[in-house]
Structure 1
């Protein structure tokens, strides 16, 4: 019964994540969500306070992602949260932090640029391409393991717990972090760029590079010389050949 509850919990966490991810696409690309990033309404707070709140929301997102992903935190955390649902709980917390960001993001509607007509459709298509790269990248490295479902399934079926092997399929042969590259494309390919969107994109870009630094340190500790060789041979985030 406990194993079945763990699996059900992981499934619920995954569904919450998936809905949140779809909302994130609408939030960034201004598509059919109640409060998109480029909200046209008049700012209700002075710009300095709005910027402060938005930066605090981004910082909350960054701290949650970075701290809970570290191995030292996991060793402490799994004393409270059973290992089979540790990743699912991380995914749940990440989804909750994003939902908080959606709810409390403060609009800064001044326009930086606005692209209209066919060119806007092209730029939006590039953003969708970025989201597609994100999604495909998760499946290349085991989507369901990344979001916690596979760990709960292994526990439910009494399989020996597996760890992700070091592999470089498809996109990973061109760039070490195609998932982050996809996010950058999605965030910056904007037909309408307001101050809100610019603040979000800059802040997320800074966080992504901080996250890459932490992630690569963990991967080097985990895979050693093999990952160091991969780093020397493959571009970090912009796909271009390296000698």
Structure 2
């Protein structure tokens, strides 16, 4: 019975994650769809500037703190004293999804001059990069283990009475060229817009700062988990952009994705 309940819990949370992920694309891209996407990053009634800045910054901070603090190994060791290990990841995904729902709901548009606005071929190019970024995010999750990343593999394993294998380091496809293709995809999606408003700029700057900090925290955990193997990988492969003439390919000690670590290795 516990395995069935865990599977139902994991499935419902995965569906919630999928809905929040798809909504994120529309939210950031200002793709308002009546009945499905009632609010985007620049839609809605504007209010006083300072309260809008404070509320938006607080919403971003809530997501960043939840997303990073709960991903740290020390927190996981404490957290799993109360939450069963098979649903720990699912619970993390649930709370991250709820933090995003809160952000979508309470986000305030900012009434300031537009930072940039382009059309024609330049606008189409930025739109293409926007979609490329989201595609890169989704592809990168499947290159490691999409269903483990979002908790489904763990609850299925519990139902079948199996254990999830220990983390293994590998370099599938994009991970041979950049260490964090998921983060790279998010950066492309957040910055590539034909019309950059002040609110969108706040979102892009704040999430970029969070990503850069999160990478440092994640890589510290990966070094602790994989030691010199990860250090060698970090020397050969660029963080967000490929290093000219370098790559992880070919060597028997090449590295990559470890489950349960924040960012591109487990908690993106």
**TM band (smaller chain):** over 0.9
Gaps of 5+ in 1: none
Whether 2:188 is the aligned partner of 1:206: answer no
Partner of 2:12: 12
Please state how far the C-alpha of 1:241 moved relative to its aligned partner.
2.4
Partner of 1:93: 95
Partner of 1:35: 39
TM-score, length basis structure 2: 0.87
When the two structures are aligned, how many residues end up with a matched partner?
241
Q: Match of 2:119, SS?
A: coil
- What RMSD, in angstroms, separates the aligned Cα atoms of the two structures? 1.2
Whether 2:146 is the aligned partner of 1:178: answer no
Q: Match of 1:69, SS?
A: coil
Q: Match of 1:237, SS?
A: coil
Query: 1:3-31 deviations in whole A, cap 9, x for unaligned?
Result: 01101100111000000000000000011
Contact 2:14-2:151 within 8 A present in 1 as well:
yes
Contact 1:38-1:196 within 8 A present in 2 as well:
yes
How many Å separate the matches in 1 of 2:208 and 2:131?
Answer: 18
Query: 1:175-231 deviations in whole A, cap 9, x for unaligned?
Result: 000000000000000111100000000000000011101100010111111000000
How many Å separate the matches in 1 of 2:157 and 2:234?
Answer: 31
Query: 1:97-146 deviations in whole A, cap 9, x for unaligned?
Result: 00000011111143111122343222111100000000000000100111
Gaps of 5+ in 2: 247-268
Contact 2:49-2:111 within 8 A present in 1 as well:
no
How many Å separate the matches in 1 of 2:103 and 2:233?
Answer: 35
Within a 5 Å distance, the mapping from 1:59-98 to structure 2 comes to 59-98=61-100
Partner of 1:50: 52
How many Å separate the matches in 2 of 1:168 and 1:15?
Answer: 28
Within a 5 Å distance, the mapping from 1:151-230 to structure 2 comes to 151-230=154-233
TM-score, length basis structure 1: 0.96
Deviating beyond 4 angstroms after TM superposition, the runs of 4 or more aligned structure 1 residues are none
Please state how far the C-alpha of 1:52 moved relative to its aligned partner.
1.2
Whether 2:131 is the aligned partner of 1:121: answer no
How many Å separate the matches in 1 of 2:244 and 2:175?
Answer: 12
How many Å separate the matches in 1 of 2:194 and 2:151?
Answer: 35
Query: 1:134-168 deviations in whole A, cap 9, x for unaligned?
Result: 00000001001111000111111111222331111
Contact 1:234-1:242 within 8 A present in 2 as well:
no
Contact 1:235-1:242 within 8 A present in 2 as well:
no
> 200-209 vs 106-115, which deviates more?
106-115
Partner of 1:3: 3
Q: Match of 1:222, SS?
A: helix
Within a 5 Å distance, the mapping from 1:131-146 to structure 2 comes to 131-146=134-149
